[in-house]
Structure 1
Amino acid sequence: MSTTRRWFGLVSMDSILYAIGGYNDKYLKTVETYDLLTNKWTRVTSMNLPRRVFGSAVINNTIYVCGGYNDEVLKSCEYYSTNTDEWYFITPMTIERRGFELVSHEGFLYAIGGYNGNESMNSMERFDIKTKQWTTKANMTSKRYGFGSVSFMGKIYVCGGEGNSDRKSCETYDPQTNKWTPIASMNHGRYYFKMVAFNDNLYALGGKADFPIDIVVFDSVEIYDYYSDKWFYTTSLPQKLGDFGV
């Protein structure tokens, strides 16, 4: 990237990666794209507001960002149009959130958990891109921020994070029943890691954990097998990573 970033958003759309906002001795609102075909980074229009530890997701070929922090916890949202190369504000979330997850799932956006400046949260709200309105949905069973989340096998999966005593724990949300259900815990408690879905598996990548003396950054990777409801260690990352984009 042309700009060093941490606590930023990284999304992909049409073979293009978008590195959005973050922090580099100051709050960033700049955006740059990486073209997989040309192997080049290009600057595009910046967001309206600088943000770090925010949520980002793609739905219907549109990039959405919400919440985050820039000396205050935010609930504002905006989207990026590739047609106009401009960012536009949309209806804000009902609650300020940082360190939360914004997940695109079956035509809706879900804002999950996070930290509101006073405490970690287990609340969730859903954005309807047609009505432009947010609706409160069922709370997670655990409060979390800095956790991993992904849309997978018709449900939303969340794991790890801070804000609760068990950083290994995982649960899944079924939009059909509006209920959260615990599943097998990871082998390693972690926060500010990344979780991705590939084929029939989930991957938990890197992250951080608190130890008695210091914060430790991991290179370990775990795979969740959907059919056996078990986590297994696999090949580690080439380096230890936390607060990164994937």
Structure 2
Amino acid sequence: MTMNSHRVLPFILIFSLILILTVVGPANASSDFWVSKANLPVGWGTRPSIGPIGKAVTVSGQIYLFYANYTYLYDASTNTWFSKTSMPTQQSNFAVAACLGKAYVFGEESNEAYNPATDTWNSIAPMPTPRSNMEANAVDGKIYLISGLLPQDGHPGPTMSNVNEVYNAASNTWTTDAPIPTPVYNYASAVVGSKIYIIGGDAVSGYADGVAITNPCNLTQVFNTQTNSWSYEQPLPIPLANSGAGATTGTFAPTKIYVFGGGNIGDVYNFTQIYNPDTETWTLGASMPTARFDLSVAVVNDTFYVLGGYNDTYSTPINEQYFPSNYQANNQLTSPSPSVPEFPAWLILAVTILMFTVIILKRKYRMKRFYALTNKAFAIGSNREKLRLITIKTIVNRVTF
């Protein structure tokens, strides 16, 4: 008796298709994802008094991290850190921005510029209003220092400034633009086109005995550098301070703003909140693998490097790279590396068919021997034994075919 191979072949093909889809997966995944990278060269231990574990900025495609008075270069192409010339002045809670091929550091103590081409530092004109716990954002050769904390000078509570001061990198001079409507500090910020987005942060929520009480807010305050005017847009879904943010350019991923992490001691978050400035809507992305606050964000080719921060009372040297949804490199959608080796579909199909062919031939050979033995026994057996053999053959036929 021969096997009905035409009844088995469809099952082979279905199994092969399932195997191909499982192992190979979709060729162009469009979901966002995270990748672990080389840890920061600093960032271990308890929370220091110098504030956040550094501030990072991208200059000419390279990431520079400034921490206390240290300067580090991160080469994203080799996933390697290098030490560079230290900052002249050790500072904390400062702001950094890249402009005209240099990195600029703005703090209460001093303002300094770093030239990556020569690995040198020089002092620049001081801020008219010294502040801390703010961000610096560059637009068209100018750097905007918005709001932040004024020096405490013995004040019992936080004193915020609403000032919006503008540094001209070419002329090394300062001017003043329209003040922010709601002063904040420890906020996140990003630039899209000619607009600066001030997102969340700590804002005054009340007073007790004349002392300001601050809490994380959900405001999205937008400054238009061309019209020198402010507006409010859709607020954050989750009020946060001490977050980090950056924006895609539209080159490799759709233009959006991404806000990562945030919180404080006792409340640490791993949220990825995504803002579409065209539709003024918020969505949530893939959560950070490591929840953190006081982190820093650098953007390279529309991917985000989320660096350092605190996972509660302890600082962390974590460096994680985020790929937005629909990220395309060289006109190809990028997806995370599969956890199993990726083989061509034709090879998997061929191996699967070969495997089942061997199984079928092996079973066919065994069944041929079975029938030969049963036929021999049938020829010499009694009627009762013949009846038993007929019953066995019937059962085998039903099970096998």
> When the two structures are superposed, what TM-score results if normalisation uses the length of structure 2?
0.55
Partner of 1:157: 197
Look up the equivalent residue of 1:100 and give its one-letter code. M
Does residue 145 (structure 1) correspond to residue 179 (structure 2)? The answer is no
Partner of 1:208: 263
Secondary structure at the counterpart of residue 69 of structure 2: strand
Q: Among 194, 198, 202, which residue is 2:244 paired with?
A: 194
Please list the CA deviations of residues 3-53 of structure 1 after superposition, one character each: whole Å capped at 9, or x if unmatched: 2273411112233211102xxxxxx20111111223221111001101121
Unaligned runs of 5+ in 1: 22-27, 68-73
Does residue 115 (structure 1) correspond to residue 149 (structure 2)? The answer is yes
Does residue 2 (structure 1) correspond to residue 45 (structure 2)? The answer is no
Shift >3 Å, 4+ stretches: none
Secondary structure at the counterpart of residue 57 of structure 1: strand
Instruction: After TM superposition, give the deviation of residue 76 of structure 1 in Å.
Output: 2.0
Does residue 37 (structure 1) correspond to residue 87 (structure 2)? The answer is no
Please list the CA deviations of residues 143-184 of structure 1 after superposition, one character each: whole Å capped at 9, or x if unmatched: 110001111132111111113336101111112221110111
Partner of 1:96: 130
Partner of 1:87: 121
Please list the CA deviations of residues 177-218 of structure 1 after superposition, one character each: whole Å capped at 9, or x if unmatched: 211101110010101101111232111111016xxxx64011
Does residue 183 (structure 1) correspond to residue 183 (structure 2)? The answer is no
Secondary structure at the counterpart of residue 148 of structure 2: strand
> What does 1:218-233 align with in structure 2 at a 5 Å threshold?
218-233=269-284
Look up the equivalent residue of 2:259 and give its one-letter code. A
Number of corresponding residues: 230
Q: Which has the higher contact order (CA 8 A, sep 6+)?
A: 2
Instruction: After TM superposition, give the deviation of residue 128 of structure 1 in Å.
Output: 1.0
Given that 1:99 and 1:115 are in contact with CA atoms closer than 8 Å, whether structure 2 keeps it comes out as yes
Given that 2:105 and 2:111 are in contact with CA atoms closer than 8 Å, whether structure 1 keeps it comes out as yes
| Range that drifts further, 111-120 or 55-64 | 111-120
Instruction: After TM superposition, give the deviation of residue 96 of structure 1 in Å.
Output: 1.1
Secondary structure at the counterpart of residue 186 of structure 1: coil
Partner of 1:70: none
Q: If each structure's strand is expressed as a fraction of its own residues, which one has the higher value?
A: 1
Look up the equivalent residue of 1:242 and give its one-letter code. F
Please list the CA deviations of residues 96-144 of structure 1 after superposition, one character each: whole Å capped at 9, or x if unmatched: 1110111111210011111012301221100112221111111111011
Instruction: After TM superposition, give the deviation of residue 75 of structure 1 in Å.
Output: 5.2
Given that 1:206 and 1:241 are in contact with CA atoms closer than 8 Å, whether structure 2 keeps it comes out as yes
Secondary structure at the counterpart of residue 19 of structure 1: strand
CA–CA separation in structure 2 for the residues paired with 1:181 and 1:75:
31
Given that 2:73 and 2:84 are in contact with CA atoms closer than 8 Å, whether structure 1 keeps it comes out as yes
Q: Among 1, 12, 35, which residue is 2:58 paired with?
A: 12
**Identity of counterpart residues, as a percentage?**
26
Structure 1 or 2, whichever has the larger Rg, is 2
Given that 2:275 and 2:283 are in contact with CA atoms closer than 8 Å, whether structure 1 keeps it comes out as yes
Cα-Cα RMSD? 1.6
Please list the CA deviations of residues 78-106 of structure 1 after superposition, one character each: whole Å capped at 9, or x if unmatched: 10112321110000000111101111112
Cα gap change, 1:15 to 1:200, in 2 (>3 Å): closer
Partner of 1:56: 96
Instruction: After TM superposition, give the deviation of residue 236 of structure 1 in Å.
Output: 1.0
> When the two structures are superposed, what TM-score results if normalisation uses the length of structure 1?
0.88
Cα gap change, 1:8 to 1:179, in 2 (>3 Å): same
Partner of 1:71: none
Cα gap change, 1:8 to 1:61, in 2 (>3 Å): same
Look up the equivalent residue of 2:220 and give its one-letter code. C
Q: If each structure's helix is expressed as a fraction of its own residues, which one has the higher value?
A: 2
